[in-house]
């Protein structure tokens, strides 16, 4: 019996009249890579925002390892072991790479309401921040100011910051978007590495990457789940062909 | 974020030395003036914790300065003997509670709304004291005595002696500076500085950012209350003007001019603004124009204030600092 780590039940999110998330009920298995596909505007980012607490659902439930986290705030979600990366690069541009990861790593403290001893004496935080940089291939950029790095490197840092919090479940919102092919291969390799131990929910436009990484795929259209299945099932599904894969070329940004 | 390099430390030690020696050569008038500037500096440093390190632009910070001053005057102003330890503890804790209440309501908002809300609270406190005949109204309150600093019946510092008062305030200024550098280097400070850079992201990394902002607001408010306490003890007088938006605005100006996000910048800004205010009128009656021009010049050409200038000069003296880890 596979363990369900995250489950949504009849999840809805309305923006005014727009149903950005429309009755989505999904189950995510521990240890698997679950990809979410869909054309632009399908509601993928909105779904991630609901799961990460960035947005509150209009109705429905979300549970993580059996606990109801429907109304939990982003900081709570992060602390219980769900990390996320953002589609739009969301880093601390004036900080060095190391300092960016430091903030992620320091959240391993029970609380950062500590006022007396200098933070730099915290060995464990050091190790975590450096480990995250290393995983993402940014060890050489440790002291570079994040805002001065290339776009691709900033995307890698985006992932490194999340990894520094050492999450159990990773929500990745288009981690490869806008990357050059070399960086893209690096990050795909990183995702494959992460997939060995962690659970990934991966939004990605790059079909090759999705088909090579994913264990299960959900296709979304207009906020609703169109179909969920194995890579083979999705490849061969007529409904998916019609709705999405047929004109995938246009969608790839 | 600036790394405090060796040349900066040398510079700060020189400044401290000058301040230590000043009463030896300075006249009574100037000793009093520098005492007043140092008290104001404690106030502006505390504002910098909000503006420069947490990203909260408070336009009502003078409220806590005024509350600190009024608490001393109201609770202890009529006493023959004021116990320093008691009056300070009570004043600071009550100011802290006031900052907690105001902050709790204000930190829910951000940007322009935060500015408006802090301003509104400060104005409320201003009119409370301004219109209450019980607390002196617009005349303010005169105090009879200064607090007595004694330990086991021995007097440690005689606040009626202006030199004693001067060194007493200098010790507080250094203490506040060291206290704030300590918390900024600690895990708490790292979170604050990150919140200023990108609050949403810090939240997503697992920090309850409103709590951190609130604690920062309370610390800043309490230190402002300390400055108010010292000012009331120095002049034996409190007035509602201490809480006015004009005071808050001047403090913001001093912080920006001196360089926000550095702890010594506000001190430099305070010295410059107060000294200009005192000396420019002697040269020309159009001194406010010149003040304005100086401020425009600094904002346009020294975006990081005077402290920023000092940092860029010091970077020429020091080889590049290793691995930026400093808060
Ligand atoms: N904060 C918001 N307010 C209003 N509409 C939004 C908001 N966020 C997303 N939307 C709308 O919801 C739909 C889904 O958007 P999104 O989740 O970003 O899609 P995707 O990530 O799949 O491209 C879009 O039509 C978008 O315009
Ligand atoms: Mg999206």
Q: Crossing angle for the helix pair B162-185 and B6-25, nearest 10 degrees?
A: 170
**Which residue in the set B183, B205, B212 is minimally distant from A161, CB to CB?**
B205
Distance CA(B36)–CA(B235), nearest Å, equals 9
Distance CA(B165)–CA(B17), nearest Å, equals 17
Structure confidence at residue A124 (pLDDT)? 95
Tokens of B193: 């500085």
Residues A114 and A95 occupy one common structural domain:
yes
Helix, strand, coil shares, percent, chain A, to 5: 40, 25, 35
CATH number at residue A34: 3.40.50.300
Please tell me if residue B182 touches chain A, with a CB cutoff of 8 Å: yes
Phi/psi of residue A27, nearest 5 degrees: -125, 135
- Suggest the residue from B3, B187, B327 to mutate for an interface test with chain A (most A CBs closer than 10 A): B187
**For B77-98, what is the mean pLDDT?**
94
Structure confidence at residue B313 (pLDDT)? 87
* Distance (Å) from CA B46 to ligand 2 centroid: 41
Distance CA(B324)–CA(B308), nearest Å, equals 17
Q: What would the DSSP string read from start to end of B141-191?
A: EE-S-PEEEEETTEEEE-TTSHHHHHHHHHHHHHHHHHHHHHHHHSHHHHH
Q: What is the pLDDT of residues B294-307, one digit of tens each?
A: 889 988 999 889 99
Nearest ligand to the CA atom of A42: 1
pTM score, whole prediction: 0.94
Closest by CA position to B106, among listed B85, B127, B88, B121? B121
**Which residue in the set A95, A98, A104 is minimally distant from B1, CB to CB?**
A95
Looking at A133, A166, A199, the residue that finishes a domain is A166
Residues A75 and A171 occupy one common structural domain:
yes
Query: Where is A245: in which H helix or E strand?
Result: none
Contact B255, B266 (CB under 8 A): yes
Contact B58, B118 (CB under 8 A): yes
What is the ipTM for the molecules in this complex? 0.92
Note whether B190 contacts A117, CB cutoff 8 Å.
no
Residues A35 and A57 occupy one common structural domain:
yes
Residues A222 and A199 occupy one common structural domain:
yes
Q: Is the pLDDT of residue B227 over 70?
A: yes
Q: Is the pLDDT of residue A248 over 80?
A: no
Residues A41 and A94 occupy one common structural domain:
no
Residues A55 and A177 occupy one common structural domain:
yes
Query: Where is B61: in which H helix or E strand?
Result: none
Structure confidence at residue B322 (pLDDT)? 44
Residues A150 and A206 occupy one common structural domain:
no
Residues A1 and A72 occupy one common structural domain:
yes
Q: What is the pLDDT of residues A186-245, one digit of tens each?
A: 899 999 999 998 999 999 988 888 999 999 999 999 999 999 999 999 988 888 887 765
Distance CA(A96)–CA(A148), nearest Å, equals 9
Looking at A166, A193, A226, the residue that finishes a domain is A166
Distance CA(A159)–CA(B140), nearest Å, equals 58
Q: How far is A41 from chain B (nearest CA, A)?
A: 22
Boundaries of domain holding A26: 1-81+167-253
Residues A64 and A110 occupy one common structural domain:
no
Residues A222 and A116 occupy one common structural domain:
no
Total domains in the fold of chain A = 2
Please tell me if residue B313 touches chain A, with a CB cutoff of 8 Å: no
Residues A174 and A253 occupy one common structural domain:
yes
* Environment of ion ligand 2 (residues, CB < 5 A): A 45, 87
**Which residue in the set B189, B205, B323 is minimally distant from A165, CB to CB?**
B205
* Distance (Å) from CA A19 to ligand 1 centroid: 9
Note whether A103 contacts B323, CB cutoff 8 Å.
no
Q: What is the mean pLDDT of chain B?
A: 93
Structure confidence at residue A251 (pLDDT)? 46
Looking at A166, A190, A216, the residue that finishes a domain is A166
């Amino acid at each position: 019996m596979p363990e369900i780590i995250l489950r949504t039940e009849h999840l809805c999110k309305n923006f005014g009249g727009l149903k950005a998330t429309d009755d989505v009920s999904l189950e995510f298995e521990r240890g698997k890579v679950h990809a979410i596909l869909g054309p632009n505007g399908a509601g993928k980012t909105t779904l991630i925002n609901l799961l990460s607490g960035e947005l509150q659902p209009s109705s429905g439930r979300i549970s993580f390892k059996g606990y109801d986290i429907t109304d939990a705030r982003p900081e709570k979600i992060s602390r219980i072991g769900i990390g996320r990366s953002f589609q739009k690069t969301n880093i601390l541009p004036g900080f060095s790479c190391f300092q960016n990861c430091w903030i992620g790593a320091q959240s391993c403290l029970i609380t950062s309401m500590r006022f007396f001893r200098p933070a730099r004496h915290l060995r464990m935080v050091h190790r975590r921040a450096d480990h995250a940089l290393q995983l993402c291939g940014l060890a050489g950029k440790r002291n570079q100011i994040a805002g001065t790095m290339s776009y691709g490197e900033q995307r890698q840092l985006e992932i490194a910051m999340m990894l520094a919090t050492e999450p159990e479940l990773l929500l990745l919102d288009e981690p490869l978007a806008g990357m050059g092919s070399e960086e893209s291969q690096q990050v795909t390799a990183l995702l494959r590495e992460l997939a060995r131990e962690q659970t990934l929910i991966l939004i990605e436009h790059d079909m090759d990457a999705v088909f090579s990484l994913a264990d299960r795929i959900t296709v979304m259209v207009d906020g609703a789940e169109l179909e969920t299945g194995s890579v083979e099932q999705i490849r061969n599904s007529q409904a998916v062909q019609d709705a999405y894969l047929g004109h995938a070329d246009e969608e790839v940004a | 974020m600036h790394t405090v390099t060796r040349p900066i430390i040398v510079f700060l030690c020189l400044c401290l030395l000058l301040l230590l020696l000043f009463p030896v050569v300075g006249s009574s008038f100037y000793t009093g003036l520098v005492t007043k500037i140092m008290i104001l500096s404690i106030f502006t440093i505390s504002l910098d914790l909000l503006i420069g390190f947490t990203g909260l632009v408070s336009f009502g910070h003078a409220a806590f300065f005024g509350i600190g001053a009024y608490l001393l005057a109201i609770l202890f102003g009529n006493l023959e003997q004021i116990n320093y330890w008691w009056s300070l503890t009570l004043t600071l804790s009550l100011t802290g509670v006031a900052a907690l209440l105001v902050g709790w309501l204000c930190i829910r908002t951000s940007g322009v709304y935060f500015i408006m809300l802090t301003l509104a609270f400060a104005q409320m406190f201003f009119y409370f004291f301004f219109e209450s005949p019980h607390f002196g109204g617009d005349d303010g309150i005169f105090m009879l005595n200064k607090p007595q600093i004694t330990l086991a019946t021995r007097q440690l510092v005689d606040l009626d002696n202006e030199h004693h008062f001067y060194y007493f305030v200098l010790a507080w200024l250094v203490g506040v500076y060291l206290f704030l550098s300590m918390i900024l280097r600690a895990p708490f400070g790292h979170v604050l500085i990150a919140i200023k850079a990108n609050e949403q992201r810090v939240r997503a990394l697992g920090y309850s950012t409103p709590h951190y902002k609130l604690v920062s607001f309370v610390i800043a408010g309490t230190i402002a209350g300390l400055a108010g306490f010292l000012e009331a003890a120095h002049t034996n007088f409190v007035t509602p003007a201490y809480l006015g938006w004009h005071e808050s605005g001047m403090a913001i100006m001093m912080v920006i001019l001196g360089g926000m996000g550095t702890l010594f910048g506000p001190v430099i800004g305070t010295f410059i603004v107060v000294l200009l205010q005192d000396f420019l009128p002697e040269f020309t009656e159009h001194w406010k124009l010149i003040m304005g021009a100086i401020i425009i010049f600094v904002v346009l050409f020294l975006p990081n204030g005077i402290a920023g200038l000092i940092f860029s000069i010091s970077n020429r003296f020091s080889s590049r600092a290793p691995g930026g880890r400093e808060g």
